[in-house]
Amino acid sequence: MLPQSVLSLWEAIRTANEGPELLLDPDLKLWALIPISIVMILVGVAKQCIMVLVSPKSKTVPRVKLTEILYITKARVLLGNGSNLSSESFQMRQEYLAQVLSEGKYLAIKPNENEKAKIENPFTNSSMTDAMTSMAMGNLVNYIPQTIIMWWVNYFFAGFVLMRLPFPLTIRFKQMLQSSVMTDDLDVRWVSSMSWYIISMGGLTPVYNILLGGSNLDKLDVSAQQQQLSQIPGGPSPQDQMKSLANDITVFQHVSVLDDIEDRVLKLYS
Amino acid sequence: MSYRFTGLQSADSGSFNNSKLLQIHDTTMLTAGLSAGILQLQSFAGFGMFFAVYTFVNLLFISWLCQFRPGLYFSDPIHTIWVKNLFRELAGFIMTWTLAFTLVR
């Protein structure tokens, strides 16, 4: 049992700032609230589909370039997860990778050719321009529907109070949330259709995630990013990366999780 | 004391764990918003419900799915589980809360 004073305080908090009660036409829900929601969800789904269609097709990378990237990745992975290997296996990989990387055996552009094409203009590189075009398209696809829906809501659903928010707001929001309702002293909780648009614009991201699964798109992005990561203009050249990785691997202090594994297993089951 | 793979971090498993957590957060918080609206909760009660459900879901996630070892599955467990999705879920919660609140009245 809660004491009476706590209960009354709770009641006071719950019903604070109630203000005068307005009677709204129930048809407003059917003809304004639900259409706006449906249109916003459908536009979001269409946006995702367009993004998939617009996104660049799987880019081809020359085999030598891929080998170079994968050898750099392999060295990083060995440094990161090497402790799971036994000492012998690690040593084998260590010697091999240190030798291959310091020699630059798998460089896509061999050092002597490198001097000719010293600094490549990023705008002549086709993969870079592709990425930029898709980025611009993505911005456009995000920006245009937003403007159109905002205009649509403002044009068709203006001039009435649509709903009451379940939480109080400060008077500052009046300008934005009651834009087309010409009242001076109506409580800010009574808002027009524009505010439902604003609220659902923020809140629909989780809904899209549930509706579309989201995972497929993310995977596409990650693989595209990984390929671009190695091609950042102005970053260290692959040759330098390989050299420094070779150094790192040579001086790496290897501690294996498999050291004394027999003793530990015996101790575990003794 | 059990010995596991140490420092095993793969980008694939990391993003898989993140998307699972995100999906759990999304579903539970949208549902919580709907329930708050159906219960006609207002102001503090509604936000209180958000934080209560958020905490409850996270504790359940840590204890049930992570077996009290979130560090094994996330590189920065506190930030990933408690902070990263907070405002996204709050926006979703407010949306469904407002929707159900209006539809039920």
**Burial code of A147-160, b = ≥16 C-beta within 10 A, e = fewer?**
eebeeebeeebeee
Nearest CA to CA, how far is B55 from chain A (Å)? 18
CA-nearest residue to B17 within chain A is A215
Q: What pLDDT score was predicted for residue B48?
A: 94
CA-nearest residue to A22 within chain B is B105
A with B: how many residue pairs have Cβ under 8 Å apart?
A: 103
- Report CB contact under 8 Å: B11, A29: no
**Alpha-carbon Rg of chain B, whole angstroms?**
16
B13 inside 8 A of chain A by CB: no
- Report CB contact under 8 Å: B22, A264: no
- Report CB contact under 8 Å: A29, B103: yes
Nearest CA to CA, how far is B39 from chain A (Å)? 11
Q: What pLDDT score was predicted for residue B6?
A: 46
Q: What pLDDT score was predicted for residue B2?
A: 41
Chain B residues whose beta carbon lies within 8 Å of the beta carbon of residue A199: 91, 94-95, 98
Nearest CA to CA, how far is A181 from chain B (Å)? 19
- Report CB contact under 8 Å: A207, B9: no
Q: What pLDDT score was predicted for residue A23?
A: 82
Residues of chain A under the 70 pLDDT cut: 1-2, 9-20, 56-59, 111-128, 214-235
Q: Of B75, B92, B71, B79, which Cα lies nearest the Cα of B23?
A: B92
Chain A residues whose beta carbon lies within 8 Å of the beta carbon of residue B42: 14-15, 166-167
In angstroms, what CA-CA distances link A122 with A131, A241, B37? 11, 20, 53
Q: What pLDDT score was predicted for residue A124?
A: 62
Chain segment B57-74, per-residue pLDDT in tens: 999 999 998 888 888 888
A164: β partners: A190
Higher pLDDT, B9 or A172: A172
- Report CB contact under 8 Å: B19, A165: no
Chain B residues whose beta carbon lies within 8 Å of the beta carbon of residue A205: 88, 91-92
| Pair A138, A169: CB distance under 8 Å | no
